[in-house]
C-alpha cells in the first residue's frame, strides 16, 4: 500500500472517541439476545457529567484558566471508578468514552464498581510541581461533592501519579473531616494507604493476561512468553512495569518508546537499564547500543507481541495492514480503532483488548479500597496472587465464550486450526464487551428500574 493510500484511509476514519465507543457497543450488542432498547439508550449515555473551569495563578504571576471534567457513566455495580488524566488533548468526549470503558472493564472482572473517568486539559511538561499541586487541589475542592469513597473514586491515569492522588486525598480529607477518607482515591503512596503492588498492577496484569492467552495455544508457535519478541509503545507506569514482567518471563524486549521517540535493539533491552537511562535523561531516546526509531516505526516492527501503552487511536486504518505482530496486548485504553480491528481480524492478528488486558489497574485499585475500609495492608505477594488469578479468570471467561462460537462454526472446536477471520467468530473485544454489557443490563434489571 502506498503512503498516500495509507494517509487517505486514515483521513476518512473517525477518531471521535464517542463514535468509536458507539461502534464497539453496537457490534457487541448484536451478540446479545433480547437487549431492551430502553436499556441500550441508558447505557449509551453517561449518568452524570461535571465540567468545571477554574483560574490558577502560575509561578510567574500570570493567571491561566483550566477546564476539567469528571464523568460517571454507570453505577449499577457500585461507586464510579476511573482515573484522572492530565493532557492537553483531553476532551469531554474522550472522558465519556473512557468512563464507559471503565463500566465494561469492572463488570468483566467482577469488581463492584461502576465506570467513571476524569481529565484536566493541561500540559504537565510545561507546569511546575507547585502549579500541578494548585491545579489538583482546586480540581478536588470544586469536585468535592462529586467524588467520594462510596460515589466516585478517582485513580491515576496519563500524566497523573501517586503524588497527584496524595494531593486529592489530602484536599478531600480537609474538606470532609470526621470520616475515614482513605478510600476516596486509589493509587495513593503506600505511606498514605496505597496498596503494595498497585503501581505495578496494570503492567503486570497485562503480562499475566498475555501469558494466559498464549497458554490457550491459539498461536501454536508461541504458547508462552519465553523468547517472545516484544515491542512496547510508552514507558510510563503501564509500559515500564509490563516491560519488567515480560523480561522476568523470558521475553525479549526489542523496542520501547516514549513521547520523544523509540529505541530498538535486536539483542534485547533490559528494562532496568532503560529505566535508569530515562530517569537520568528524561527520555529513552539516545540510550547507548540502541537504534533510534519513531513511534510509528515501533508499531510496525517485526515482533511477536506489540503492546501499545501510551495514547488512544495508535493502530488505525492507515497502519493496521502494516502491523507484523501476532498478538497485540492493549496496555493503553482505546489504542486500536474499529477499522483497524477489522483489518487485524482479517489478517489473523489477535488483539487482547484493553477491557481485559489492562484491567489489573482497577483490580488492585479495588484491593486498595478494600484494605482502606479496614485500615489494613496486605503483603505484596497476596496482592500479586489475587491480581494474577483475577486476570487469568478474565481471560478464561472471554476465551470460553469465544470457543463457543468456534464450536458453533466447526464441529471439532479445534482452536488450533480455527480461521479467526471468519465472519461468524467475533473478535475478543466484541466478546468481552458483550459479556460486560450482559452483566450490567442483568444487574440493572435485578435492581429494579426505579421507582
To the nearest whole angstrom, how small is the minimum distance from the Cβ of residue 122 to ligand NAD?
13
Contact 48, 116 (CB under 8 A): no
Residue of 186, 202, 290, 319 interacting with ligand NAD (CB under 6 A): 202
Residue of 84, 309, 329, 406 interacting with ligand NAD (CB under 6 A): 309
Residue of 29, 122, 158, 253 interacting with ligand NAD (CB under 6 A): 158
Nearer to ligand NAD, 317 or 364 (CB): 364
Residue of 24, 186, 290, 358 interacting with ligand NAD (CB under 6 A): 358
Residue of 9, 257, 337, 372 interacting with ligand NAD (CB under 6 A): 257
Nearer to ligand NAD, 245 or 425 (CB): 245
Nearer to ligand NAD, 27 or 199 (CB): 199
Q: Is the dihedral of CA 131, 136, 137, 139 positive or negative?
A: positive
- Residue 156 binds ligand NAD (CB under 6 A): yes
To the nearest whole angstrom, how small is the minimum distance from the Cβ of residue 345 to ligand NAD?
22
To the nearest whole angstrom, how small is the minimum distance from the Cβ of residue 415 to ligand NAD?
28
- Residue 310 binds ligand NAD (CB under 6 A): yes
As a 3-state breakdown, the chain gives helix, strand, coil percent values, each rounded to 5, of 50, 15, 35
The Cα–Cα gap between 178 and 110 comes to: 31
Which grid cell is 135? 491545579
CB neighbours (10 Å) of residue 316?
21
Per-position x/- string for 259-278, each x denoting binding to ligand NAD as judged by CB under 6 A, each - no binding: x-------------------
Contacts 24+ apart (CB under 8 A), 165-168: 165/189, 165/194, 166/192, 167/133, 167/136, 167/137, 167/140, 168/84, 168/136, 168/139, 168/140
Nearer to ligand NAD, 295 or 371 (CB): 295
Nearer to ligand NAD, 46 or 308 (CB): 308
Question: Catalytic residue at 278?
Answer: no
Q: Is the dihedral of CA 429, 435, 438, 442 positive or negative?
A: negative
Which grid cell is 227? 523468547
- Residue 296 binds ligand NAD (CB under 6 A): no
Which grid cell is 59? 509561578
Part in contact with ligand NAD (CB under 6 A); list of ranges 68-76, 305-313, 339-347, 367-375:
305-313
Q: Tell me the residue number closest to ligand NAD, measured at CB.
A: 236
Q: Nearest CA to 263 among 240, 284, 277, 282?
A: 284
To the nearest whole angstrom, how small is the minimum distance from the Cβ of residue 133 to ligand NAD?
17
SS (H, E, C) 81-149: EEEEEECCCCCHHHHHHHHHHHHHHHHHCCCCCEEEEEEECCCHHHCCHHHHHHHHHHHHHHCCCCCEC
Residue of 21, 103, 186, 295 interacting with ligand NAD (CB under 6 A): 295
Task: Kindly name the residue from 105, 117, 188, 388 that is annotated as catalytic.
Answer: 117
- Residue 311 binds ligand NAD (CB under 6 A): yes
Q: How many residues bind ligand NAD (CB under 6 A)?
A: 24
Contact 77, 325 (CB under 8 A): no
To the nearest whole angstrom, how small is the minimum distance from the Cβ of residue 335 to ligand NAD?
7
**H or E element, residue 372:** helix 360-374
Residue of 13, 94, 200, 258 interacting with ligand NAD (CB under 6 A): 258
Q: How far is CA 227 from the centre of its chain?
A: 25
To the nearest whole angstrom, how small is the minimum distance from the Cβ of residue 314 to ligand NAD?
7
Count the alpha carbons within 13 Å of 226 in the hemisphere toward its beta carbon.
2
Part in contact with ligand NAD (CB under 6 A); list of ranges 53-61, 244-252, 326-334, 342-350:
326-334
Length of the chain: 451
- Residue 163 binds ligand NAD (CB under 6 A): no
- Residue 331 binds ligand NAD (CB under 6 A): yes
Site residues (CB under 6 A) for ligand NAD, limited to 204-243: 233-239
Roughly how many angstroms between the first and final C-alpha of the chain, as a whole number? Answer: 57
Per-position x/- string for 374-403, each x denoting binding to ligand NAD as judged by CB under 6 A, each - no binding: ------------------------------
**H or E element, residue 291:** strand 291-293
Q: Output DSSP code: residue 195.
A: P
| Residues found near ligand NAD in the complex (CB under 6 A) | 156-159, 202, 233-239, 257-259, 295, 309-311, 331-333, 358, 361
The residues annotated with a catalytic role in the active site are: 117
Amino acid at each position: 500500500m502506498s503512503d498516500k493510500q495509507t494517509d487517505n484511509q486514515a483521513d476518512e476514519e473517525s477518531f471521535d472517541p464517542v463514535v468509536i465507543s458507539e461502534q464497539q457497543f453496537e457490534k457487541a450488542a448484536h451478540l446479545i439476545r433480547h437487549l431492551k432498547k430502553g436499556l441500550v439508550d441508558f447505557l449509551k449515555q453517561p449518568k452524570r457529567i461535571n465540567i468545571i473551569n477554574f483560574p490558577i495563578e502560575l509561578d510567574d504571576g500570570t493567571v491561566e484558566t483550566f477546564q476539567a471534567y469528571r464523568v460517571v457513566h454507570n453505577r449499577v455495580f457500585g461507586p464510579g471508578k476511573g482515573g484522572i488524566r492530565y493532557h492537553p488533548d483531553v476532551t469531554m468526549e474522550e472522558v465519556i468514552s473512557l468512563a464507559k470503558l471503565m463500566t465494561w472493564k469492572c463488570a468483566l472482572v467482577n469488581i463492584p464498581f461502576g465506570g467513571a473517568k476524569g481529565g484536566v486539559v493541561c500540559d504537565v511538561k510545561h507546569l511546575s510541581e507547585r502549579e500541578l499541586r494548585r491545579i489538583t487541589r482546586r480540581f478536588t475542592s470544586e469536585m468535592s461533592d462529586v467524588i467520594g469513597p462510596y460515589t466516585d473514586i478517582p485513580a491515576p491515569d496519563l500524566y497523573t501519579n501517586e503524588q497527584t492522588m496524595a494531593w486529592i486525598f489530602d484536599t478531600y480529607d480537609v474538606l470532609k473531616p470526621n470520616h475515614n477518607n482513605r478510600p476516596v482515591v486509589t493509587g495513593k503512596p503506600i505511606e498514605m494507604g496505597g496498596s503494595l503492588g498497585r503501581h505495578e498492577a496494570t503492567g503486570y496484569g497485562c503480562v499475566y493476561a498475555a501469558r494466559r492467552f498464549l497458554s490457550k495455544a491459539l498461536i501454536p508457535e508461541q504458547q508462552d512468553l519465553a523468547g517472545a519478541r516484544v515491542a512496547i509503545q510508552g514507558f510510563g507506569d503501564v509500559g515500564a512495569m509490563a516491560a519488567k514482567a515480560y523480561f522476568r518471563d523470558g521475553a525479549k524486549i526489542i523496542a520501547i518508546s516514549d513521547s520523544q521517540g523509540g529505541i530498538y535493539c535486536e539483542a534485547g533491552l533490559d528494562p532496568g537499564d532503560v529505566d535508569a537511562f530515562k530517569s537520568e535523561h528524561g527520555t529513552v531516546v539516545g540510550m547507548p547500543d540502541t537504534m533510534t526509531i519513531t513511534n510509528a516505526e515501533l508499531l510496525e516492527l517485526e515482533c511477536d507481541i506489540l503492546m501499545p501503552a501510551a495514547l488512544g487511536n495508535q493502530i488505525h486504518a492507515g497502519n493496521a495492514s502494516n502491523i507484523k505482530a501476532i498478538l497485540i496486548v492493549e496496555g493503553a485504553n482505546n489504542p486500536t480503532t474499529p477499522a483497524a480491528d477489522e483489518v487485524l481480524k482479517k489478517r489473523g492478528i489477535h488483539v487482547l483488548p484493553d477491557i481485559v488486558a489492562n484491567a489489573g489497574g482497577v483490580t488492585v485499585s479495588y484491593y486498595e479500597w478494600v484494605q482502606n475500609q479496614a485500615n489494613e495492608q496486605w503483603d505484596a505477594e497476596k496482592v500479586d496472587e489475587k491480581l494474577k488469578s483475577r486476570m487469568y479468570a478474565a481471560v478464561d471467561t472471554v476465551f470460553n465464550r469465544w470457543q463457543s462460537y468456534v464450536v458453533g462454526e466447526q464441529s471439532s472446536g479445534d482452536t488450533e486450526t480455527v480461521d479467526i477471520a471468519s465472519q461468524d467468530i467475533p473478535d475478543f473485544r466484541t466478546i468481552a464487551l458483550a459479556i460486560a454489557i450482559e452483566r450490567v443490563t442483568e444487574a440493572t434489571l435485578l435492581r429494579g428500574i426505579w421507582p
